[in-house]
Amino acid sequence: MSRDFQLPGRSPVIASNGMAATSHPLATLAAIDMLREGGTAADAAVAAVATLCVVEPAMTGIGGDCYTLVSKPGHDVWGYNGSGRSGAKASYEALRAQGLTEIGTSIHAVTVPGAIEAWEQILKAHGRFGLDRALRPAIQYAENGFPVAARVARDWRYYVGKLKANPAATKHYLVNGEPPQEGDVMRFPALAQTLKTIAAKGAKGFYEGEIGAEMAATVAARGSFLTEEDFANHRGNAVTPISTNYRGLDLVEIPPNGQGLTALVMLNILENFDLKSLDPYGPERFHLVLEAARLGFAVRDTHIADELHMRTPVAALLDKAWGKKLASLIDMNKRAKLPPHPAPGSNTVYLTVVDKDRTAVSFINSLYSGFGTGICTEKSGILLTNRGACFTLAPDHPNTFGPDKRPLHTIIPALAMRNGRCDMSFGVMGAHYQPMGHVQIILNMLDYGMDVQQAIDCPRFFFEGEKTVVENGTSRATIDGLKARGHDVAMADSPWGGGQTIKIDWDRGTLTGGSDPRKDGCALGY
């Protein structure tokens, strides 16, 4: 699809040697600088994500979790699950006895942050440099200051009440009790010192010693099951990715406890329909994908959990015949009544880097909700994740809260492979929306011939409970067509997430990148 240059928009970025796409220009530049200094895509990705933990603090932080996929020519795709667990003494029965019916905003939403250990392992496996070098840009911005970008300022304002509720968060992340404005220069001296400790001592300096003890004490004072030993014992793990083939393209995802399986189930449903015959912006396409999503998310909410606790094998959930059976449940003229999924509401950063050797890194890092729990450590300035809110307190469910357990996780990086080579590294932020975002990108490019930027820019749609929620830019005819099929349509208060994509052209030796206008970021190459 050719672009109309008389209309607002941006062109894809095309380069040959290396490319990075992130949600903030300073992070993209940090990645490019690392590549030009001789670093690998992994070095550049860690430099970028650490920078984002400083310059986009509502969206991510070192107190959160991380997943990555790495495609290196001639090797199998490598995955890493850097999500944290509940405490070894965590008790479902104890919470039910307290009268809790969901984790919600309780202190039990805090799980051990897995990001820093994952960064270290990613660098050991695929980098040339260590954390000391990768953290330099983040330390510089935390110590010397960075100007607050437009979308970052908007998010900061939105969550100011959460920060004001915690004295340490107020101290470290507000200015005289107020959020910074666009263009204000912010500094995080405590976070800078914490990053320096990690740079000097590695991940051990984060999970053990004064920093680990302070995180444990901060949550213990509020009744958490987490202990110093839970932080010190944390380890992520390399994983074998899962995938499905959609019209010749293999979509690769991290296995559960991530929700990437949901995107694969959706594609197994949608391959049974002639998407190309449908208007990409029309009500038929929107309706069909929404119905596939409702089925996919019903599968997710029934089955996905820490893989050690799942009762149905992943292979069975990815069975093509079952996907066809699910497809038969869709009525192209009427919205089905299916179980609603949890209401979306998290904040995350996704980035991707491809280097001159064509190693592609798909990387995602998250605190879950904006500024996580809003609970911050007094001395080290670490905002803590609330990922444990994704546990259920329903009895006899594979994702029920329990000891030393990972919750269902919404963050999912993706790779698209063709004939054993990486065709595209991409991801879409936005909590529960992310599998839907992955599917929409694949459909936009494969079925509708959009370029990487057009595929990202395209109006997004999803559902919140019984509501079908569409972005600005969705036509009136499409909205009316959805209503005619039984959808209760509402306009989105905020855009659905954000996304980054890098596509590899192996024949021409080029990289083409796109970055989401819903964020402040950009793609850059050299």
pLDDT digits (tens, 9 = 90+) for 367-395: 999 999 999 999 999 999 999 999 999 98
Q: 10 Å Cβ neighbour count for 397?
A: 17
Dump the DSSP string for 225-268: S--HHHHHT---EEE--EEEEETTEEEEEPPTTBSHHHHHHHHH
pLDDT, position 170: 98
pLDDT, position 101: 92
| 508: helix, strand or coil | coil
For the annotated binding site, the residues are 431
Q: 10 Å Cβ neighbour count for 273?
A: 18
| 80: helix, strand or coil | strand
Our measurement of the distance from residue 43's CA atom to the centroid of its chain's CA atoms, rounded to an integer in Å, reads 19
DSSP code of 509?
T
Q: Annotated catalytic sites, by residue?
A: 348
Tens-digit pLDDT profile for residues 88-118: 999 999 999 999 999 999 999 999 999 999 9
Residue listed under structure tokens 């799942």: 310
Residues whose CB falls within 8 Å of the CB of residue 462, separated by 6 or more in sequence, listed in order? 290, 293, 344, 432, 433, 436, 468, 469, 496
Token pair recorded at residue 517? 């206008």
DSSP code of 409?
B
CA of 384: how far to CAs of 43, 58, 115, 182, 256, in Å? 25, 11, 11, 25, 22
Q: Is the dihedral of CA 93, 94, 100, 102 positive or negative?
A: negative
Largest CA distance in the chain: 63
Token pair recorded at residue 111? 């799980």
- Rounded-to-integer distance, Cα 51 and Cα 45, Å: 10
pLDDT, position 172: 98
- Rounded-to-integer distance, Cα 79 and Cα 76, Å: 10
Strands 467-470 and 488-491: parallel
Q: What is the pTM assigned to this prediction?
A: 0.95
CA of 154: how far to CAs of 134, 349, 381, 433, 446, in Å? 28, 16, 21, 20, 34
CATH of the domain spanning 255-345+439-506, picked from 2.50.20.20, 1.10.246.130, 1.10.3720.10, 2.40.50.180 = 1.10.246.130
pLDDT under 70 in the chain at which residues? 338-347
- Rounded-to-integer distance, Cα 325 and Cα 240, Å: 27
pLDDT, position 373: 96
- Rounded-to-integer distance, Cα 253 and Cα 235, Å: 20
Do residues 153 and 67 make contact, with C-beta atoms less than 8 angstroms apart?
no
Token pair recorded at residue 494? 């905020």
For the annotated binding site for L-glutamate, the residues are 431
pLDDT, position 345: 45
pLDDT, position 381: 98
pLDDT, position 338: 64
| 228: helix, strand or coil | helix
Give the residue from 226, 237, 262 showing the smallest Cα distance to 431: 262
pLDDT, position 343: 37
Q: Is 95 left (phi over 0), alpha (psi -120 to 50) or beta?
A: alpha
DSSP code of 340?
P
Question: Could you tell me where in the chain the CATH 1.10.246.130 domains are found?
Answer: 255-345+439-506
Our measurement of the distance from residue 153's CA atom to the centroid of its chain's CA atoms, rounded to an integer in Å, reads 20
